Amino acid sequence: MEEISLTQLGRDVRGFASPVEAVLERVANPQAGKLFLARFTAPEFTSLCPVTGQPDFAQLVIDYAPGDWLIESKSLKLYLASFRNHGAFHEDCTLMIGARIVEVAQPTWLRIGGYWYPRGGIPIDVFWQTGPAPEGLWLPDQGVAPYRGR
């Protein structure tokens, strides 16, 4: 496995102005070869509407079955925070995050649920996964209730 040099963990990092600038880091999976699910939940995700510039809010639930790599959680937090001044539609934000995690961590499997609060009175929920879940992987419900004033 390649040597990893972490640039954020244990260091004072200001954050990033955009998701393009943000550095998402990985660490070696000490349980590589075992099938398990790791979950990140971001209950206060924020981005901007690309048309109006108004803030959009979501709860993100990211489930992945790691391969050789784990996503380093501080770098994920900073990556997600970089969307606060980024203008993109709900679908684009959700899929951009899922694709970036896949690019960096190369998981066995990933799914992301973006549970967006209403814009114009309509909540938009966005779901994406890399393919069918591996046989034998325990997939708990993402735990987000259907919209009723979340």
- Please give the positions annotated as active site: 49, 56
Contacts of 64 (CB under 8 A, 6+ apart): 37, 38, 71, 101, 105, 107, 108, 109, 110, 111
Structure tokens at 67: 């391969």
| Distance of alpha carbon 69 from the chain centroid | 15
